[in-house]
C-alpha cells in the first residue's frame, strides 16, 4: 500500500472536526491521515507549505461564507473538498465554479467524505448526490456549460500539451489545470454522460460544440517549431 493521503480540516466547530477525524481514523484501509486542523483560513495560511494533500473546507466559517476564497487556495496548490451543511444549488455551484474538487454535504459526509478526499488527491472526479442535484438544477442538465478557463485548458490538453505545459501557457499551476479537467468530467458525469478517459471527454466536448474538430491541431513546443522552420537559403517545404 502506498503512503496515505494527508488532509487538513478547516472547520470552526470542534465537534464537527472531531467527527470528521473519527471517520478518517476508522477507515479500514487507513488510506487517509489527518495532519492538521484550523478554525479559519488565517490558520491555514499560517501553516507551513505544503501542509497536506487535500483541504477539507467548511464553507461557513465564523458565520460567513468563504466560497469566494476557494480560488486563492486552489492557486496556492491545495486540492479542496467542500464539506458543508448548505444545500442551496447556487452555493454548491459557486463552490465548484470557484475550484473545489468536490462538494460533500454534512448529511452524506460519513459515506462520501473519505472517498471524495481520495478522488481529489488522485485528480479523479467524484460526484456526490448533493453535488449531482445542484448540477442538474443548473438549467444546463443535458449540455454542461464550461467556463472559458475550463475550455481553454481542455483545448490545449487535447492538442497534445502536458498538463504542466498547459499551466505554463495559461499562467496557472499544473494543479489548477487538473482541477479544470476534473470539473469538466464531473459536470458531464452529473448529467449521465460520463467521460472517464481523455478520448471520451474530447468526444463530449465536440458533441456539444465546446471544441471544434478543426481546433485540435497537433501541439509543437517552441523548440520543435524552431527546428521545423527552414533555415535561411533552404528551399521551402
With a CB cutoff of 8 Å and minimum separation 6, the contacts of 10 are 37, 38, 39, 40, 41, 43, 44, 55, 56, 57, 58, 61
Q: What is the pTM of this model?
A: 0.64
Cβ of 174: how many Cβ atoms within 10 Å? 15
Residue 49 has pLDDT above 70, yes or no: no
Residue 227 has pLDDT above 70, yes or no: no
Distance between CA atoms of residues 162 and 175, nearest Å:
12
- What's residue 110's pLDDT? 79
CATH superfamily of 5-136: Response regulator (3.40.50.2300)
Query: 50: which 3 cell numbers?
Result: 505544503
Q: Taking the C-alpha atoms of 177, 180, 185 and 186 in order, what is their torsion angle to the nearest 10 degrees?
A: 130
- What's residue 234's pLDDT? 40
For the stretch 174-216, pLDDT in tens is: 999 999 999 899 888 877 777 877 877 887 787 777 888 778 7
Distance between CA atoms of residues 106 and 222, nearest Å:
48
The residue ranges of every structural domain in the chain are: 5-136, 148-223
Distance between CA atoms of residues 121 and 116, nearest Å:
9
Distance between CA atoms of residues 143 and 187, nearest Å:
9
- What's residue 56's pLDDT? 96
Place of cell 471517520: 23
**Which CATH number does the domain 148-223 belong to among 1.25.10, 1.10.357, 3.30.70, 1.10.10?**
1.10.10
Q: What is the DSSP string of 71-89?
A: HHHHHTT-EEEEEES---H
Residue 13 has pLDDT above 90, yes or no: yes
Q: What is the DSSP string of 39-80?
A: SSHHHHHTSPSS--SEEEE-SEETTEE-GGGHHHHHHTT-EE
For the stretch 104-157, pLDDT in tens is: 998 887 779 999 999 888 877 778 888 878 866 765 456 788 888 999 999 999
For the stretch 73-105, pLDDT in tens is: 887 778 899 999 888 888 988 888 788 888 999
Amino acid at each position: 500500500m502506498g503512503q496515505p493521503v494527508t488532509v487538513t480540516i478547516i472547520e470552526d466547530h470542534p465537534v464537527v472536526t472531531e467527527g470528521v477525524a473519527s471517520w478518517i481514523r476508522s477507515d479500514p484501509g487507513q488510506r487517509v491521515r489527518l495532519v492538521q486542523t484550523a478554525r479559519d483560513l488565517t490558520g491555514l495560511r499560517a501553516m507551513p507549505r505544503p501542509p497536506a494533500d487535500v483541504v477539507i473546507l467548511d464553507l461557513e466559517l465564523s458565520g460567513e461564507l468563504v466560497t469566494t476564497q476557494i480560488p486563492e487556495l486552489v492557486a496556492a496548490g491545495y486540492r479542496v473538498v467542500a464539506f458543508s451543511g448548505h444545500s442551496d444549488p447556487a452555493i454548491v455551484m459557486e463552490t465548484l465554479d470557484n475550484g473545489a474538487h468536490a462538494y460533500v454535504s454534512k448529511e452524506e459526509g460519513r459515506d462520501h467524505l473519505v472517498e471524495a478526499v481520495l478522488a481529489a488527491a488522485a485528480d479523479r472526479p467524484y460526484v456526490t448526490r448533493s453535488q449531482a442535484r445542484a448540477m442538474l438544477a443548473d438549467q444546463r442538465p443535458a449540455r454542461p456549460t464550461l467556463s472559458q478557463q475550463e475550455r481553454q485548458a481542455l483545448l490545449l490538453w487535447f492538442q497534445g500539451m502536458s498538463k504542466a505545459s498547459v499551466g505554463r501557457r495559461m499562467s496557472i499551476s499544473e494543479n489548477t489545470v487538473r482541477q479544470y479537467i476534473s470539473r469538466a468530467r464531473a459536470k458531464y458525469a452529473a448529467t449521465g454522460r460520463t467521460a472517464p478517459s481523455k478520448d471520451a471527454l474530447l468526444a463530449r466536448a465536440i458533441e456539444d460544440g465546446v471544441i471544434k474538430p478543426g481546433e485540435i491541431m497537433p501541439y509543437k513546443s517552441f523548440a520543435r517549431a524552431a527546428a521545423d522552420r527552414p533555415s535561411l537559403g533552404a528551399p521551402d517545404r
